[in-house]
Structure 1
Amino acid sequence: MSKIPFLQLNEQSITKLQYITIMICFLMNVLDGMDVLIISYCAPAIATSWQIGPEALGIVFSVGLAGMALGALVIAPYADHIGRKKMILISAFLMGASVFCTGFAQTVPQLILLRLLSGLGIGSMLATTASLTSEYLPNRSKDFWVSFVLAGYPIGAIIVGYVAASVIPVSGWRMMFKLAGIASLVTIPIIFFFLSESIEFYLSKQPRNALQKVNRILEKLKVSPLSELPNKSNKSLIISVDQLLSNTYRISTLKLWTALFFAFGCLYFLISWIPKLATNAGLSMELAIYSGTVFNVGAFFGIVVQGYISSKIGLKKTIAFFLGTTAFLMAIFNVFVGSDFILLIFGLLGFTLQGGFVGLYAVAARLYPAEFRTTGVGWAIGAGRLGGVLGPALGGILIGWGLSMSTNFMIFAVPAFLAGVVTYFISSKEIP
């Protein structure tokens, strides 16, 4: 593949087209965060309206997470065949249509099916936006912008909480889903008209009129046009996990999956149980709910700061430091129980854990070539989500045993620490 366009991108300032790409991908991750968390805010109203118990709601929650894993593992890899832009359009439609239709659901099976479909869109959107952002930005600032785009996720989580607090008491939970679905659907024309396809995709797959399409993009990027396309890769059009586990990538792939497994487990434990554990620790219900918001606010700033530091000192060192700091804060959490600093610690945990966690997406985007980059990112997310399923379940068992908040935090400090260590020892010349 020709490196000339990318060498020129590395030498010049970011253009309007690149900023448009960043902001659209950021917006889609804001909507991702909204569509994931909306069920949590609507669940109490649904339970009251339908007279269903926590067991049924637990299935709804789990199916949504399963859909996200399947979206990353099965749907997102098709972006390596059909293009990043088409996959983002498909994901936006899946998210918007399924979330909007959820507002009309009448039974639990219907709700389960619609959450599965929305999960498919959310999972594929996360992987594809990370890949596209990575492919449009210069090497020196790639890690920052990938992290920035993914920082839209906690922003969406915060926004949906505030909107739900206003909408659900007045208009009901159905209106909340309808509004969220419309918000995703209206982005489809924005994506279609303003988002450009990946240059690397055009050069590697070479669809019809690829040279003209590449040169139109290069003109907007203020980069010299190509006179001809590079030699097309003879690799099979069927991208499989075997390529992620080939001799070149096997060790790095397994380390990345392991790091994401531990990081997902720790993160979803905190997301799922912070309000409950905060209540157990003596906080009022209002402050316990607020603790989740503080966690997500910290996450946004942590993700952005992590991206900036990574561009200066390297991705692996930064992630290891952030996750190591998370482990330290969780291990000494008992010091802050009952003090006025407990909400500050929740914010710091969001800052360090989510900052380090999202950095692993940037690692995945750097690790693999364009031919199967979205496949690599998608499988990394999918492998990590197994930890996301096990973390909250293990937390529930430990809490059921009567273990204190501090003891739970000390236990889950271990996977945070291991995630940082494993990340530090990922070996790849593509990852600083």
Structure 2
Amino acid sequence: MKALEVNQIIDNARFTRFHWMVMCLCALLLVFDGYDLFIYGAVLPVLMKEWGLSPVQAGALGSYALFGMMFGAFIFGPLADRIGRKKGVAISFVLFSVSTFLSGFATTPSEFGVYRFIAGLGCGGLMPNAVALMNEYAPKRLRSTLVAIMFSGYSLGGVLCAGLGIYMLPRFGWQSMFFAAALPLVLLPLILWKLPESVGFLLRQGRTDKAREMLTNVAPDVHLGADVQLVQPDAKGAGVPVFDLLRQERAMGTFMIWLSFFCCLLMVYALGSWLPKLMANAGYSLGSSLSFLLALNFGGVVGAIAGGWLGDRFSLPKVVVSFFTVGTISIALLGFKSPMPVLYLLIAMAGATTIGTQILLYANTAQFYPLAIRSTGLGWASGIGRTGAIVGPLLGGWLMAAALPLQMNFFVFAVPGLVAALAMGFFILWYRRPQRAVIPAAPVSAPVASRSQA
């Protein structure tokens, strides 16, 4: 019987309609996820006025969903390695869609916070599983690009949120923004029908025939008859302890990834939650302030796609360091009075190098861990990062309450970018040491593949 390694089949496959379908479905899910996550920043000025919230209270309320995301990432990442990524994605999608819809019926901040926490559980579970699924099926030469394009759906969700906010908030009130989140549920049957299950999970479950069917879609020109035995070197049992993330010389990389996620998500959610309010305080109208949020997320789309393209041609961690550096500078410059075209450009650059870099971090993390612990690795990186996402809105509230000059607010928001750039720079140096031997999931242009070029 002939043996074929699953990873090699996928790595060497040409781009097919199957890859296109997986990328589009995951991107569509992340559009809805991104809409849910940026909705609070869009309605924040209205909520503060209607419920009489102080800046500190508003920051704490914005963190409820992010607390949920942290727990959701910790729960659904490892859970998907046991029940399958398709089920993990579907459960997460239903959870955040229903909870966001119910948020529109909230009459008190406490009730609103409970719904936002539950919605956060779903959002936190969807992201790592969608990234892991796309990364598993993507050919090696296109892996970073496809993950980045898929994840740009997250930024498109922010663009959709800001665009709808400009139109709907003055006409129908803040509740309408949350009611609209129920509409994507009509696509649930399509997702359950078309979204594929992880090949690694199918093999661990003994569903070899279904795994062959998936791989035939991935690589139609490869013979996968009954005489072919499918081999997956990094496959293991269903139990996936988090300590596996620290074994086989992965500990330092894991800690640096966690620190980078923390800093990146702090910047993303500080800007996403407080940019409209900061600009409103600076004298811009609500419509103009929401247009800044639109520019931030549009920049995230461009940054994600450009970063993924660069990551497939150069070292992905190097691209991440460059993006963090540019993000630090552009955010710091936002506090200075600039002509409107320059201001929009700086905001778009900030979005490209914060939201876009978050997406690159997910791609890098997926390539760093072997398949059997990939969802766990992504889930824990995302969960640790969510502590930064929680701190972001709270930090913005504290800064607003302190009534600091506009420049100081943006200077504080920029500092985590510098820390993250240093963390990823150390990540590169650590895994280029010749005496170390870390084996990533596939020999792609990420953590360790470029060591020989040092």
Normalised TM-score (structure 2): 0.85
Amino acid in structure 1 at the alignment position of 2:186: V
Structure 1: runs of 5+ lacking an equivalent: none
CA pair 247-212 structure 1, distance change in 2 beyond 3 A: closer
Q: Which residue matches 2:95?
A: 94
Deviation at residue 299 of structure 1 after TM alignment: 1.0
Does structure 2 conserve the Cα–Cα contact (< 8 Å) formed by 1:331 and 1:409?
yes
Q: Does 1:214 find its partner at 2:215? A: no
Q: Secondary structure at the match of 1:228?
A: strand
Runs of 4+ in 1 over 6 A off after TM superposition: 231-234
Aligned to 2:82: 81
Residue in structure 1 matched with residue 386 of structure 2 by the alignment = 385
Instruction: Indicate how the Cα distance of structure 1 residues 291 and 369 shifts in structure 2: closer, same or farther if over 3 A, else same.
Output: same
Identity across matched positions, percent: 30
Q: Deviations over 1:82-104 (max 9, x none)?
A: 11111111111112222233344
- State the 1:107 CA deviation: 5.0
Deviation at 1:350, TM superposition (A): 1.1
Cα distance in 2 for residues equivalent to 1:281 and 1:258: 32
For residues 154 and 231 of structure 1, do their structure 2 counterparts lie closer, same or farther at Cα, with a shift above 3 Å needed? Answer: closer
Q: Deviations over 1:214-238 (max 9, x none)?
A: 1111222213316234489795533
> Structure 2: how far apart are the matches of 1:385 and 1:241?
17
Contact 1:259–1:423 (CA under 8 A) maintained in structure 2: yes
Q: How far, CA to CA, are the matches of 1:139 and 1:298 in structure 2?
A: 26
- What's 2:265 paired with? 264
Query: Could you tell me which residue of structure 2 aligns to residue 394 of structure 1?
Result: 395
Matched residue SS, 2:212? helix
Residues 6, 138 of structure 1: 8 Å contact kept: no
Q: CA deviation at 1:339?
A: 2.8
Mapping for residues 302-317 of structure 1, pairs under 5 Å: 302-317=303-318
Is the CA contact 2:41–2:272 (under 8 Å) kept in the aligned structure 1? no
User: What TM-score results when the alignment is normalised by the length of structure 1?
Assistant: 0.89
1:280, distance to aligned residue in structure 2 (A): 4.7
In structure 2, do the counterparts of structure 1 residues 40 and 262 end up closer, same or farther at CA, with 3 Å as the change threshold?
Answer: closer
Q: Larger deviation: 314-323 or 235-244?
A: 235-244
Closer, same or farther in 2 for the Cα pair 1:411/1:62, shift >3 Å?
A: closer
1:417 CA displacement: 1.8
Q: Alignment RMSD, CA only?
A: 2.6
Would the aligned equivalents of 1:100 and 1:182 in 2 still touch at CA under 8 Å? Answer: no
Contact 2:260-2:420 within 8 A present in 1 as well: yes
Q: Which residue of 1 aligns with 2:141?
A: 140
Conserved in 2, the CA contact under 8 Å of 1:56 and 1:108? no
Structure 1 residues 218-269: Cα deviation after superposition (integer angstroms, max 9, x where no partner): 2222133162344897955332222212353211100100111122222222
Paired residues, number: 425
Distance 1:236 1:100 in 2: 38
Farther-moved stretch of structure 1 (309-318 vs 96-105): 96-105
What residue is the counterpart of 2:345 in the other structure? 344
Query: Within 5 A, what are the aligned runs for 1:334-373?
Result: 337-340=337-340, 341-373=342-374
Rounded to whole Å, the distance in 1 between the matches of 2:297 and 2:232 is 46
When structure 1 is superposed on structure 2, of 131-140 and 402-411 the one drifting more is 402-411
Quick check: 2:6–2:231 contact (8 Å CA) kept in 1?
no
Structure 1 residue aligned with 2:129? 128
C-alpha distance in structure 2 between counterparts of 1:102 and 1:398, whole Å: 27
- Alpha-carbon distance in structure 2 between the residues aligned to 1:377 and 1:156: 21
Q: Which residue of 2 aligns with 1:191?
A: 191
- Matched residues in 2 for 1:305 and 1:22: separation? 17
Conserved in 1, the CA contact under 8 Å of 2:42 and 2:290? no
Q: Distance in 1 between matches of 2:70 and 2:346?
A: 30
Instruction: Answer whether contact 1:104 1:174 (CA < 8 A) is retained.
Output: yes
Distance 1:91 1:320, change over 3 A: same
Equivalent residues of 2:60, 2:394 under 8 A apart = no
Sort the Cα spacing of 1:286 and 1:180 in 2 relative to 1 into closer, same or farther, 3 A.
closer
The residue that corresponds to 2:183 in the other structure is: 182
Of 266-275 and 395-404, the range deviating more from structure 2? 395-404
Q: Is the 8 A contact 2:69 2:125 kept in 1?
A: yes
- 1:4/1:361 Cα in 2 relative to 1: closer, same or farther (>3 Å)? same
The code of the aligned residue for 2:25 comes to: I
Structure-1 residue corresponding to 2:452? none
Q: Deviations over 1:318-340 (max 9, x none)?
A: 11111111123334556x52433
| Aligned residue in 1 for 2:408 | 407
The 10-residue stretch of structure 1 (279-288 or 116-125) with the greater mean CA deviation from structure 2: 279-288
In structure 2, runs of 5+ residues without a counterpart are: 432-437, 441-445, 450-454
Q: What is the SS of the residue equivalent to 2:229?
A: coil
C-alpha separation in 1, matches of 2:171 and 2:347:
31
Q: Is the 8 A contact 2:57 2:397 kept in 1?
A: no
Q: Is residue 320–residue 356 contact of structure 1 (8 Å, CA) maintained in 2?
A: no
The answer for the alignment partner of 1:224 in structure 2 is 223
Q: Which residue of 2 aligns with 1:422?
A: 423
Which of 309-318 and 414-423 deviates more?
A: 414-423
Q: Which amino acid aligns with 2:301?
A: F
Give yes or no for contact 2:63–2:393 (8 Å, CA) kept in 1.
Answer: no
Aligned to 1:330: 331
Higher mean C-alpha deviation, range 409-418 or range 363-372: 409-418
Change (3 A) 1:115 1:394: closer
Checking the alignment, whether the CA contact within 8 Å between 1:319 and 1:355 is kept in structure 2 is no
Query: Is 1:324–1:417's contact at 8 Å kept on the other side of the alignment?
Result: yes
Do the aligned partners of residues 202 and 46 (structure 1) sit closer, same or farther apart at CA in structure 2, a change above 3 Å counting?
A: same
8 Å CA contact retained: 2:297, 2:348: yes
